[in-house]
């Protein structure tokens, strides 16, 4: 039955929204996946979307985007997507799936609306830039 299905817990894999400067010195925000594990995670697939329902029940949402990132070695990171500040008013969800030791893992990382802002920035490990991270 459903209670007999093993649901492995993801540890040491994070998603971070990082504030950076681009090549023309303009502030941009990029979303990264960070593998803090001691092993490579394989066949990384991520779906991303933004959504919110206001007090009147009206829904705002973005398109669902899917990203295949291949393998991510230990202590490395990869860019998922750039993101514009206008979507910070939405809940931003990144549903991450990957294989580790031939076992499938998946987890939803949800940045709640209005939480990606300067006062919540921390130093992001491995990337060593300021951003907001969910582990």
Domain borders along the chain are 17-134
Q: What is the architecture, at CATH level 2, of domain 17-134?
A: Sandwich (2.60)
Task: Report how far residue 8's alpha carbon sits from residue 19's, in angstroms, rounded to the nearest whole number.
Answer: 31
Query: What is the full per-residue pLDDT of the chain (135 aa) written as tens digits?
Result: 456 567 788 989 999 999 999 999 999 999 999 999 999 999 999 999 999 988 888 899 999 999 999 999 999 999 999 999 999 999 999 999 999 999 999 999 999 999 999 999 999 999 999 999 999
Global confidence as pTM: 0.92
Under 8 Å CB-to-CB from 134, ≥6 apart: which residues? 14, 15, 16, 109, 110, 111
Q: Among residues 97, 90, 129, which one has the least CA distance to residue 111?
A: 90
Burial zone of 97 (CB within 10 Å; 0-12 exposed, 13-18 middle, 19+ buried): middle
β-bridge pairing 59-61 and 41-53: antiparallel
């Amino acid at each position: 039955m459903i209670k007999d299905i093993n649901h492995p817990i993801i540890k040491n894999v994070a998603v971070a929204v990082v504030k950076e400067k681009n090549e023309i010195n303009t502030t941009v925000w990029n979303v990264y996946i960070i593998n803090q594990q001691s092993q490579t995670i394989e066949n990384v697939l991520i779906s991303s979307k933004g959504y919110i329902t206001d007090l009147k029940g009206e829904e705002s949402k973005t398109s669902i985007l899917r990203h295949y990132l291949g393998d991510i070695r230990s202590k490395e990171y990869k860019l998922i997507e750039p993101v514009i500040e206008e979507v910070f008013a939405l809940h931003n969800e990144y549903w991450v799936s990957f294989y580790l030791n031939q076992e499938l893992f998946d987890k939803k990382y949800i940045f709640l609306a209005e939480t990606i802002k300067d006062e919540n920035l921390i130093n992001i490990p491995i990337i060593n830039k300021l951003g907001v991270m969910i582990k």
